[in-house]
């Protein structure tokens, strides 16, 4: 065997490497999400795209699609937020102040960053079955204070922060 033949990788090795590379490239967008939103502390999340309803309790990060005029022009309508109040919990809204089980969450703003008037979500009582109130304590977070409950069936994935 010549020296040149010894230096070339085998066709099988190259095929295996390229297949692994393609599978990894296809897997990553389905399993990893990155957010630049200042409303979340973490930036990189691993996604569980087959979540059970039991995983969607308070503190869980959920990825869902949101259709809103406030997201027009955004690159995506997929939104990642944290569950602050879930089915069976008591959500109270006093004026524009939000409480879950009497624990203060935060308040709604009157105007968006663009100066548009915001309509705040009003509710008093138990969070209905299969619904979630998502929230961020960032002052400019666009969350359930403005669009209301997220249905569990609309959750695309549970996100686990890694960085």
Domain annotation covers residue 109: yes
In this prediction, residues 142-154 reach a mean pLDDT of 96
pLDDT value of residue 131: 98
Tell me the per-residue pLDDT of 106-138, one tens digit each, with 9 for 90 and over: 999 999 988 999 999 999 999 999 999 999 989
Domain annotation covers residue 5: no
Domain annotation covers residue 23: no
Domain annotation covers residue 127: yes
d(CA 49, CA 158): 7
Number of domains in the chain: 1
Domain annotation covers residue 80: yes
Give the structural domain span for 157.
33-161
Domain annotation covers residue 46: yes
Q: What is the pTM of this model?
A: 0.80
Q: Tell me the DSSP string of 77-109.
A: -EEEEEEEEETTSEEEEETTEEEETTEEEEE--
Tell me the per-residue pLDDT of 46-97, one tens digit each, with 9 for 90 and over: 999 998 999 999 999 999 999 888 777 777 889 999 999 999 999 999 999 9
- CATH number for the domain spanning 133: value is 2.10.109
Domain annotation covers residue 18: no
């Amino acid at each position: 065997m010549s020296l040149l033949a010894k230096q070339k990788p085998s066709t099988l090795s190259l095929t295996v490497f390229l297949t692994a590379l393609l599978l990894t490239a296809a897997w990553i967008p389905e399993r990893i999400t990155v957010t630049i939103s200042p409303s979340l502390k973490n930036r990189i999340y691993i996604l569980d795209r087959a979540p059970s309803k039991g995983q969607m309790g308070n503190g869980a990060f959920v990825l869902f699609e949101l259709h809103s005029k406030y997201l027009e022009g955004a690159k995506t309508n997929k939104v990642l937020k944290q569950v602050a109040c879930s089915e069976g919990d008591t959500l109270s809204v006093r004026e524009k102040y939000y409480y879950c089980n009497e624990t203060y969450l935060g308040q709604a703003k009157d105007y968006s960053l663009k100066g548009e008037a915001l309509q705040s979500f009003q509710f008093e009582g138990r969070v209905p079955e299969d619904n979630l109130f998502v929230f961020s304590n960032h002052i400019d977070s666009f969350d359930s204070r403005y669009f209301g409950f997220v249905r569990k069936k609309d959750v695309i994935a549970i996100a686990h922060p890694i960085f």
